[in-house]
Chain A
Amino acid sequence: MSASGRRGGPLLQVEQLRKYYPFTKGVLFAKTLGQVKAVDDVSFGIEAGETLGLVGESGCGKTTTSKLILNLEEPSGGQVLLHGKPIHGLAGDALREYRARVQAVFQDPWSSLNPRMTIGRTIAESLIVTGWGNRADIADRVGELLDQVGLRRDQAVQYPHEFSGGQRQRIALASALASQPQLIVLDEPVSALDVSIRAQMMNLLKDVQAQSNVAYLLVAHDLATVRHMADYTAVMYLGKIVEYGPTQALFDNVTHPYTKALFSAVLLPRPGKHEEEIVLAGEVPSPLNPPSGCRFHTRCPFAMAQCSREEPPLREIAPGHLAACHLHPPQ
C-alpha cells in the first residue's frame, strides 16, 4: 500500500518511483558492479495549496526524489503524474509548460542566482521564456513579485552581491513564483539562513501559500521546520518512506523506530534533562548494498529476527498514518 492511497492527490501523484544509479568500474568497457538504489518504491501525493515535508538524513534519497519531480532525472521505474498526466517523456512546449507549473527554490542562495544579471532580469527570465507579454507587462510583474516577497521595486536593478542571504532567498522565491507555479519544490530553503532570517522566510513562504494556493514539497532535515510548515510529513531512510502521515498526527504519535531516533536527536532549545534519548549506533549503511529485510534493522534498537529477513510494507497504523515496521501491524 502506498502513502498516496489515502488521498486522491489530484495535483501531484508519485507512484512507485524508483531511481537506481549504476555503479561501474572501468571507463571504456565499463562493467556494472551494482546499483545504488537512491529512491526505491516511493509513493505519495500532494494536493493543491498544501505542503508535504520530506525528512531524512543525507543520502536518504530526498533530493533525488525532488529531482525526479522536477523532471531533472529520468526514473528507473514508477511515474510522477501532474494532474494525472505523466511528466517524464514530455518534450518541447509540454515540457516548458511543466517547468512553468513546477518550480524550485534551492538551499544555497549564494550559488542559485546568476551574479552577472540584475535580480530583475533573473526574475524576468522565466516570464520571457513563458511569453508573459511585452516589456512593460514583464516589468510590472517583476515589481509585483518583489512586493510579494517583501523587497522594494527599485531593487530590481541591483545585482545579487548587493543582497544578504535572506534577501537572496526571497529573490529566488520571487523568480520561482514568476510563472505562477502550482508546485514549488523547496530544497532546504531555510537551512543556510541565520536564525532570525529563517523565521522571516518561513513566514513569507506561508503567506505566499495562503495568497496563491501553491503547493510545496519541502525537503528538510529539521523536524521543527517541517512541523511548522508541512501539512503532511514523510520520513525517508535509505531510499524508502518509513513513515508517513498528517504532520500533527505523526508528531503526536511517532511510530517507526527511525523516526523516534530522529525525534530524540532534536535538541530542544530548553535546558534540562535528556531522558529517553535514542542514540543510533553507527552510520547510515551504503545504499549500494542496503541491508536485507528492513533497511533500518542494522541500527534499530528494537530489531527482531524477522526484521533482517522480511521487508516490512508501509501500512496504515491509524487513519492516514502509515509506517513500515514489523512492530506495528495494521490496526
Chain B
Amino acid sequence: MTDAKGDVVLEVRELQTHFFLRRGVVKAVDGVSFTLRRGEVLGLVGESGCGKSLTALSIMRLLPKGGARTIHGQVLLNGDDILTRTPGEMREIRGRKISMILQDPQTSLNPVFTIGDQLREAIFRRSGARNRDVVREAIDALRRVDISAPEQRIGQFPHQMSGGMKQRVVGAISISGHPEVLIADEPTTALDVTIQLQYLKLLQRLQQETGMAILFITHDFGVVARMCDRVAVMYAGRIVECGPVAEVFANPSHPYTQALIASVPKMTGNTRRLYTIEGQPPSLMDLPAGCRFAPRCPHVEERCESAYPPSFTVGREHTADCWRMTAR
C-alpha cells in the first residue's frame, strides 16, 4: 500500500444526502467521510438501506429522481470538489476520471444494441477517434476482460451472453476511459460463486495493470477479505468503523462490526447456533438521537443514547465510532 499523505485520489468529507419526501426527511447518507488512495481497494460494507449505494451515487452525482439531494459535504477528486461542477463538466469527469459498475449486468446494458455499439459509444465519447480505431480499441477492451473471440462477440447482443460475460463487458465499458477511480457497486452479487471468483480475480488484475483506485461496495465480508486493502463499515447512513482489512477482522471494535462478523455462518467450527443481532435497523426518517446502533447494541450505556460518539482511533489507521473506545 502507498503512503498515507499526498497520494489521495478521492476524498469524501461529511457527505450528507437526504431524500426530501412529503412524509419527512430520509437521512440516507448522513455525514460520511473517507479517503481513497491511488491503487487501493476500499471496501464499503453494510446491509441494505445503510446508504452505501447512495454514497456512490452521490459521488457520481447520479442521484435518483424524486427528492434526493446532497445537502452538505465535499467530494474531492484530486483535491477538486466535484460537487460544485456543472452537469456538463460532470459528464466529462464520469467515465474518464471516475467510473462505476452496477450490480446487475442485465440492466446496465441496452438490450437493443450490440455490445460493440455500446463499447464504441463509450470510447468515441471519450476520444472522438475515427471509427476504425474505435473498433480496434473496443476489441482490445474486450480482450482485456478475458472475453474469447472478441471479434465475433462485438457483434452480439447482451441476451446472447451469460451473466458473467455481460458483467465483464460492463467492466470493459467502465474502464475504457482509463478512470482513476472505479466504483464497483456489488458487481458480483448477481453472479454464481465460481463466476464471482473469476470476476474478482479479473478486477484485481485490471487494478494492478492500471493502478486505479477501487471503491468496492458489498455486503459480503468474504469478498472484502479477498479484495480489499481497507474496509469501511456503514450503518444507518454513517461509517461506524474504518481500518485496514487485517486489522478490522482481527480486532473489530464497533459492536455492529463484531456482530456482523459473528453472524456469518463459517466453513469450520461448530454449527449449532449463529450469533444474531436483535431487532431491525432504525428508520432513516426517525433516527435515534445518539448512537444509531444503540437500540440493538448489547453494550449500550446511557451516553450512547444521548450523543453520537466521535471517531476514536483504535489502531493504526483504524477508527471506530463507539463510546466504549474512550478508555483506550
Identify the A interface with B (CB < 8 A): 57-58, 164-166, 194-200, 202-203, 206, 221-225, 227-229, 251, 261-262, 264-272, 274, 277, 279-280, 283-284
B264 interface residue (CB < 8 Å to A) = yes
Most buried by B among A261, A265, A268, A271: A271
Measured between beta carbons, the chain A residues less than 8 angstroms from B277 are: 196, 199-200
Distance from A21 Cβ to chain B, minimum over Cβ atoms (Å):
19
The answer to whether A267 and B225 touch (CB under 8 A), given A57-B194, A199-B274, A280-B194, is: yes
Q: Rank and list the top 10 A-B pairs by shortest CB-CB distance, nearest first.
A: A267-B222, A269-B221, A199-B263, A194-B47, A199-B274, A57-B192, A228-B265, A224-B265, A196-B277, A265-B197
Structural contact, B192 and A221, CB atoms closer than 8 A: yes
Most buried by A among B165, B261, B264, B265: B265
Distance from B115 Cβ to chain A, minimum over Cβ atoms (Å):
16
The answer to whether A223 and B194 touch (CB under 8 A), given A195-B260, A279-B201, is: no
- 11 CB-based A-B contacts, threshold 8 Å: A57-B195, A198-B263, A200-B276, A251-B267, A262-B194, A265-B193, A267-B197, A267-B222, A269-B264, A272-B225, A283-B165
Distance from A318 Cβ to chain B, minimum over Cβ atoms (Å):
20
Measured between beta carbons, the chain B residues less than 8 angstroms from A203 are: 273-274, 276
Structural contact, B224 and A269, CB atoms closer than 8 A: yes
Residue in contact with B261 in the complex, picked from A262, A269, A284, CB distance below 8 Å: A269
Structural contact, B164 and A269, CB atoms closer than 8 A: no
| Measured CA separation A194–B192 after assembly (Å) | 18
Structural contact, B225 and A268, CB atoms closer than 8 A: yes
Given A194-B47, A267-B200, list of 9 further CB < 8 A pairs?
A166-B280, A194-B48, A195-B47, A196-B260, A206-B273, A266-B222, A268-B267, A269-B220, A269-B221
Residue in contact with B265 in the complex, picked from A227, A261, A264, CB distance below 8 Å: A227
Distance from B90 Cβ to chain A, minimum over Cβ atoms (Å):
32
| Measured CA separation A245–B195 after assembly (Å) | 25
| Measured CA separation A266–B280 after assembly (Å) | 28
Distance from B278 Cβ to chain A, minimum over Cβ atoms (Å):
8
A-contacting residues, B263-292, CB 8 Å: 263-267, 271, 273-277, 280
Most buried by A among B192, B245, B275: B192
B162 interface residue (CB < 8 Å to A) = yes
| Measured CA separation A194–B265 after assembly (Å) | 13
Structural contact, B267 and A265, CB atoms closer than 8 A: no
Measured between beta carbons, the chain A residues less than 8 angstroms from B265 are: 199, 202, 222, 224-225, 227-228
Interface string of B234-275 (1 = CB under 8 A from A): 000000000001100100000000011101111100010111
Structural contact, A266 and B221, CB atoms closer than 8 A: no
| Measured CA separation A310–B5 after assembly (Å) | 61
| Measured CA separation A203–B193 after assembly (Å) | 24
Measured between beta carbons, the chain A residues less than 8 angstroms from B223 are: 267
Distance from A188 Cβ to chain B, minimum over Cβ atoms (Å):
12
Interface string of B182-194 (1 = CB under 8 A from A): 0000000000111
| Measured CA separation A228–B193 after assembly (Å) | 18
| Measured CA separation A104–B324 after assembly (Å) | 44
Measured between beta carbons, the chain A residues less than 8 angstroms from B201 are: 279
Most buried by A among B198, B277, B280: B280
The answer to whether A270 and B196 touch (CB under 8 A), given A164-B280, A202-B265, is: no
| Measured CA separation A164–B246 after assembly (Å) | 33
B72 interface residue (CB < 8 Å to A) = no
Most buried by B among A194, A227, A272: A194
B226 interface residue (CB < 8 Å to A) = yes
The answer to whether A265 and B219 touch (CB under 8 A), given A195-B263, A202-B274, is: no
Structural contact, A280 and B193, CB atoms closer than 8 A: no
Structural contact, B267 and A223, CB atoms closer than 8 A: yes
| Measured CA separation A200–B274 after assembly (Å) | 8
Distance from A283 Cβ to chain B, minimum over Cβ atoms (Å):
5
Measured between beta carbons, the chain B residues less than 8 angstroms from A270 are: 225, 249
Structural contact, A283 and B162, CB atoms closer than 8 A: yes
Q: From B256, which residue of chain A is reached at the shortest CB distance?
A: A196
Structural contact, B162 and A279, CB atoms closer than 8 A: no
Structural contact, B267 and A266, CB atoms closer than 8 A: yes
Structural contact, A199 and B276, CB atoms closer than 8 A: yes
Measured between beta carbons, the chain A residues less than 8 angstroms from B261 are: 269
Distance from A82 Cβ to chain B, minimum over Cβ atoms (Å):
28
Structural contact, A274 and B226, CB atoms closer than 8 A: yes
A-contacting residues, B192-228, CB 8 Å: 192-198, 200-201, 219-226
| Measured CA separation A200–B263 after assembly (Å) | 9
Measured between beta carbons, the chain A residues less than 8 angstroms from B266 are: 224
Measured between beta carbons, the chain B residues less than 8 angstroms from A269 are: 220-222, 224-225, 249, 261, 264
Measured between beta carbons, the chain B residues less than 8 angstroms from A224 are: 264-267
Measured between beta carbons, the chain B residues less than 8 angstroms from A267 are: 196-197, 200, 220, 222-223, 225-226
Measured between beta carbons, the chain A residues less than 8 angstroms from B48 are: 165, 194
Structural contact, B219 and A227, CB atoms closer than 8 A: no
Structural contact, A271 and B225, CB atoms closer than 8 A: yes
A-contacting residues, B141-170, CB 8 Å: 162-165
Q: From B261, which residue of chain A is reached at the shortest CB distance?
A: A269
| Measured CA separation A261–B197 after assembly (Å) | 10
Measured between beta carbons, the chain B residues less than 8 angstroms from A228 are: 265, 271, 274
Structural contact, B264 and A195, CB atoms closer than 8 A: yes
Residue in contact with B276 in the complex, picked from A58, A196, A221, A227, CB distance below 8 Å: A196
The answer to whether A271 and B162 touch (CB under 8 A), given A199-B263, A221-B193, A266-B222, is: no
Measured between beta carbons, the chain B residues less than 8 angstroms from A284 are: 192
| Measured CA separation A229–B266 after assembly (Å) | 11
Measured between beta carbons, the chain A residues less than 8 angstroms from B263 are: 195-196, 198-199
| Measured CA separation A93–B29 after assembly (Å) | 55
Measured between beta carbons, the chain A residues less than 8 angstroms from B226 are: 267, 274
